[in-house]
Chains A and B, each alone.
Chain A
């Protein structure tokens, strides 16, 4: 069974479109409302197969963990994760699923040249730091559009509750020698200032050092 996990925080305007589009390519859609203060939960309930609600905002990492655990309980064989803000084009899910026949962990790679300046710099820098620290041949370490074979969930399982989740997944994959690959995906930005901030970027870079040198 193929299950999509969509963590959502205050995405009432976009979540409907994302769910409807995603449900065309997967068997079930799980939405985790991460303590939204708008109508995200109500909208998600109308269109998603399963909706879970965190009573307070815990962060993307936590919401994803809740979603993945729920997907595993639903006996998912393949899990696709994507953002609720429409930054990921669900019509690309079949590309991920095809790639999962060759590897266990597929990461969507965005075209940095199509990003606005700040995001391009941050993503290029973080991805470069990641490659140096972990020796993984990854073009886009911050992409949140991914697909995972549920068998290897234990090997990539993350502790972080916040934005560092994508990086920690990769760090764990590197440590546990998970077979991974990248597929090119569309680069879509709706709001210039949404997503990882400069401070988040610094925190992620520091976390990378922690995961590389102080993990035991």
Chain B
């Protein structure tokens, strides 16, 4: 029997897969991004549908409950995403600075 929380997680995975596809359709994502994120949502969907399938992993890691497993890996995943976003933002900022500086130099107006 599928419980309420399972339905919520599966619905979340389906909605996110749909949003991911829309991003791809609007060409905001490349094919690689589409496959990567759709795979991630599919794993989440399957894990919610067949929670016992992750019990092997949970036992190997000596984690008591499935919920603990998701909480721990959720935090790890969030930390990775935050770090990645920080790095990307930092890179983008320095690229923007270089562009603005170059354009400012080129558009320099000097009184005759």
- What is A's interface to B at a CB cutoff of 8 Å? 32, 45, 48-56, 58, 62, 66, 70, 161
Nearest-Cβ distance from residue A21 to partner chain B, whole angstroms? 17
- CB neighbours (8 Å) of B33 from chain A are none
Distance in angstroms between the alpha carbons of A53 and B104 in the assembled complex: 5
B104 near A52: Cβ-Cβ < 8 Å:
yes
Residues on A with C-beta less than 8 A from B104 are 32, 52-55, 66
- Interchain CB contact under 8 A, B109 and A55: no
Interface centre among B97, B100, B103, B108 (most CB of A within 10 A): B100
Residues on B with beta carbons closer than 8 Å to the beta carbon of A45: 109, 111
Expressed in whole angstroms, the minimum distance between the Cβ of B108 and any Cβ of chain A is: 5
* C-alpha gap A83/B59 in the complex (Å): 65
Q: Do A58 and B100 have beta carbons less than 8 Å apart?
A: yes
With contact pairs A58-B97, A62-B97 given, residues A51 and B109 touching in the complex (Cβ less than 8 Å): yes
Q: Are A49 and B97 in contact (CB under 8 A)?
A: no
Q: Which residues does chain B contribute within 8 Å of A62, judged by CB atoms?
A: 97, 100
- Interface flag for B4 (CB, 8 Å): no
**Which residues on B sit within 8 Å (CB–CB) of A53?**
103-104, 107, 109
Are B110 and A55 touching (Cβ within 8 A)? no
Known: A58-B97, A62-B97. A50 touches B109 (CB 8 A): yes
Interface size of B by CB at 8 A reads 13
Inside 8 A of A50's CB, which chain B residues have their CB? 108-111
Give chain A residues whose Cβ lies under 8 Å from the Cβ of B36: none
Contact with A along B73-112 (1 / 0, CB 8 A): 0000000000000000000000011011101110111110
- B107 near A52 with CB under 8 A, answer yes
**B100–A55 CB distance below 8 A:** yes
Please give, as numbers and ranges, the residues of chain A lying within 8 Å of B108 by CB-CB distance.
50-52, 70
Closest to A62 in B: B97
- Chain B residue numbers with a CB within 8 Å of A52 are 104-105, 107-109
Q: Please judge, given known A-B contacts A58-B100, A62-B97, A62-B100, whether A48 and B111 are in contact too, CB under 8 Å.
A: yes
Query: Measured between alpha carbons, how far is A62 from B104 in the docked complex, in Å?
Result: 11
Alpha-carbon distance between A37 and B96 when the two chains are bound, in angstroms: 19
Task: Establish whether residues B101 and A66, one from each chain, have CB atoms under 8 Å apart when the complex forms.
Answer: yes
For residue A51, which residues in chain B have a CB less than 8 angstroms away from its CB? 108-109
In the bound complex, residues from chain B placing their C-beta under 8 Å from that of A66 are: 101, 104
Are A56 and B109 interface neighbours, CB within 8 A? no
Distance between A47 CB and nearest chain B CB, rounded to angstroms: 8
CA A49 to CA B103, docked complex, whole Å: 18
In the complex the two chains form, is A49's CB within 8 Å of B100's CB?
A: no
Closest to A67 in B: B104
B111 touches A49 (CB 8 A): yes
Expressed in whole angstroms, the minimum distance between the Cβ of A157 and any Cβ of chain B is: 14
Chain B residues within an 8 Å CB radius of A55? 99-100, 103-104, 107
Given contacts A45-B109, A45-B111, A55-B100, list 11 more A-B pairs with CB under 8 A. Answer: A32-B104, A50-B109, A52-B104, A52-B108, A53-B107, A55-B104, A56-B96, A58-B96, A58-B97, A62-B100, A70-B108
